[in-house]
Structure 1
Amino acid sequence: MRKIAVAGIAIVALAVASEIGARYAGVIDFPLYEANNRVGYLPLPNQSGSFMRTNDFYTNDLSMGVIDTFENTENDILLVGDSLVWGGNPYKQADKLGPKLQSALDERGVDAKVWPISAGSWAIINEVNWLEDHPVVVSATETMIFILNSEDFDQPSSWRNPLTHPRERPASAIGYLLYKYIFSPAIPAIEADLTVPSRPVGEALAATIANCSCRVQIWLHPMKAELALPSDQTNLEMNFSKIEALLPEGTKVHRIRDIPDWGQKLYRDSIHPTPEGMNILGQAIAASLD
């Protein structure tokens, strides 16, 4: 009995130590989300943390990826996108596109404030719905910039997975790791009351652009594999060609693949740029605003 008791105590001690170690390592210090049937999901406002104690993040009062409370300044740049703007857990805050663009503008002596609004796997309809729900932000904007990839033209994203877009902090860090990486649960079905209705993409984007008394840029971001294809043969260009004629006159379209020295070495995976890639893209956007 004594051996059993000792073994039990050892197991409990090991579990407690593992839990403390996992929490200290920051494995559950990740952004939390809210969910609805308009934008699907959105990082909670006014939160901050440091995933794995290295990759910091924060959001402001409107869930934007900046620490500053939103205000109407003389030169506001609204940067809209999916994970290409949000970045997510693999990036430090300073390595995300919003901060890189802000740094590039500061280096050029441009007095402007970048306000990034985004969430991983957002589609165009998710973005448009957020903009429609925040007319004060749109009216304050002098420049609106969309970062789009081929998947953004699909159906809007709805919340469905607590592992990719958690809405609450796990009670146990070890339990969370086991559940996510060992048991690998199936992705649940989308709840009816959280389903974002589909809308015609071109008409919705065009109406949003027309509703903003600002200059608008669209930056088309290719998948890593798309760089090996002629531009007009990529899903990105084929999807964009279906809506391009609907966009208001004056909408500026830029192709990231045309940035000098842009190439596959600037991707950290199939779609997301490395920190160096984010910096090059930020510099290119800043140069276009001159």
Structure 2
Amino acid sequence: MTRIFGYSDFPLYDISDDIGYIPRPSQNGFFQRKNDWYFNAMSMPTAREWQPDISPKIFLIGNSIVMGGNPFPQREKLGPLIERGMVSGRIIWPIATGGWTQLNQFAYLKANAEKINSADYVMWEYMSGALNRKTEWKGEYVFPTQRVMCAFCYLFRRYILPRILILNENNELPVSGLITREHVIEFENIINTVFSRNTHRGFIWLYPTAHELTIARSGREWLPERKEIEAVATKEGLRIVDVAKFPQWDTHLYSDGVHPTNEGNEQLAKILATEMMKDGL
């Protein structure tokens, strides 16, 4: 019954020594027979195949906040929402996978440098602690690499059992910790790799969890490494967009304390689209 209703129609992943893990290229499906999802030949979460001749090339880089995941149909994910919120009809190219930190993203960009080293504009998500280390593959019940024989058994183990027992291995969130100077420098170098021009355009957007947003609203600093990230942005000619500073962003827009609800996705897309249009896009 679970297979009939599409509960086992989810993306598959490949394990990578360099990247950690990555959605398998050229796949699509309908989770619960209603939420369509796509990954193109470059494992970008979009139905569009990479078109290097399209200009300007706008990259939206992040993790599950950008990728969207099974709860959202494609049109309600962040990239498509940003496109619809702009008057210029630009195409957004998402580079994102659930659980990725900046280091997973760095590895992906390095692996595909020859194809995507010509960005004209970048919107790069940053969450606290994301310059600590790479997130590794967490197993079949988080990032499955093959279709399951018993769909009900998989869903019970993946979604129901964690509500009864604490299963840390089911955690899809990025790893987090103290950032290192080495990775800050790597962030700077990767920005130079992604862009094809000396003048960089775009912004790093700081995304808080619900708990961090509460800290911000109390007047305290929610991002311990703010100075380091702001220094990278300043050196590389990018702006900082702190989502916590937008009054329309509120704790009721989170579904689980980290990921946005449908309304949250819409509000976040409006914020990012507005910031893009400030730069003339």
Name 1:89's counterpart in structure 2: 70
Contact 1:224–1:271 (CA under 8 A) maintained in structure 2: yes
Shift of 1:120: 0.7
1:284 alignment partner, one of 254, 260, 271: 271
Name 1:49's counterpart in structure 2: 29
Name 1:77's counterpart in structure 2: 58
Residues 175-194 of structure 1: pairs in structure 2 closer than 5 A: 175-180=153-158, 181-182=160-161, 187=169
Q: 1:256 to 1:246 in 2, by over 3 A?
A: closer
Counterpart check, 1:129 vs 2:107: yes
1:201 alignment partner, one of 160, 183, 196: 183
Contact 2:204–2:241 (CA under 8 A) maintained in structure 1: yes
Q: 1:279 to 1:187 in 2, by over 3 A?
A: closer
Contact 1:224–1:267 (CA under 8 A) maintained in structure 2: yes
Contact 1:201–1:243 (CA under 8 A) maintained in structure 2: no
2:227 alignment partner, one of 228, 235, 241: 241
Shift of 1:239: 2.3
Contact 2:67–2:97 (CA under 8 A) maintained in structure 1: yes
- Listed as ranges, the gaps of 5+ residues in structure 1 are 1-20, 189-197
Summarize deviations over 1:8-48 as a string: whole Å, max 9, x none.
xxxxxxxxxxxxx1111111110101111211111111111
Counterpart check, 1:22 vs 2:2: yes
Shift of 1:249: 3.7
SS of structure 1 residue aligned to 2:66: helix
Name 1:275's counterpart in structure 2: 262
TM-score, length-normalised on structure 2? 0.84
Summarize deviations over 1:124-147 as a string: whole Å, max 9, x none.
111111111112343332111111
Q: 1:170 to 1:234 in 2, by over 3 A?
A: farther
Contact 1:202–1:244 (CA under 8 A) maintained in structure 2: no
Q: 1:223 to 1:179 in 2, by over 3 A?
A: closer
Shift of 1:251: 1.2
Summarize deviations over 1:62-112 as a string: whole Å, max 9, x none.
11111111012011211100111111112221111111111112xx1x142
Distance in 2, matches of 1:85 and 1:160, equals: 20
Residues 52-63 of structure 1: pairs in structure 2 closer than 5 A: 52-63=32-43
SS of structure 1 residue aligned to 2:209: coil
Contact 1:65–1:98 (CA under 8 A) maintained in structure 2: no
SS of structure 2 residue aligned to 1:150: coil
Contact 1:42–1:118 (CA under 8 A) maintained in structure 2: no
Q: 1:147 to 1:26 in 2, by over 3 A?
A: same
Residues 145-156 of structure 1: pairs in structure 2 closer than 5 A: 145-156=123-134
SS of structure 1 residue aligned to 2:231: helix
Contact 2:206–2:240 (CA under 8 A) maintained in structure 1: yes
SS of structure 2 residue aligned to 1:70: coil
- Listed as ranges, the gaps of 5+ residues in structure 2 are 171-179
Q: 1:186 to 1:253 in 2, by over 3 A?
A: closer
1:258 alignment partner, one of 225, 245, 253: 245
Aligned residues: 257
Contact 1:266–1:276 (CA under 8 A) maintained in structure 2: yes
Counterpart check, 1:142 vs 2:128: no
Counterpart check, 1:215 vs 2:193: no
Larger radius of gyration: 1
SS of structure 2 residue aligned to 1:146: strand
Shift of 1:260: 3.7
Distance in 2, matches of 1:186 and 1:170, equals: 21
Shift of 1:243: 4.0
Counterpart check, 1:115 vs 2:96: no
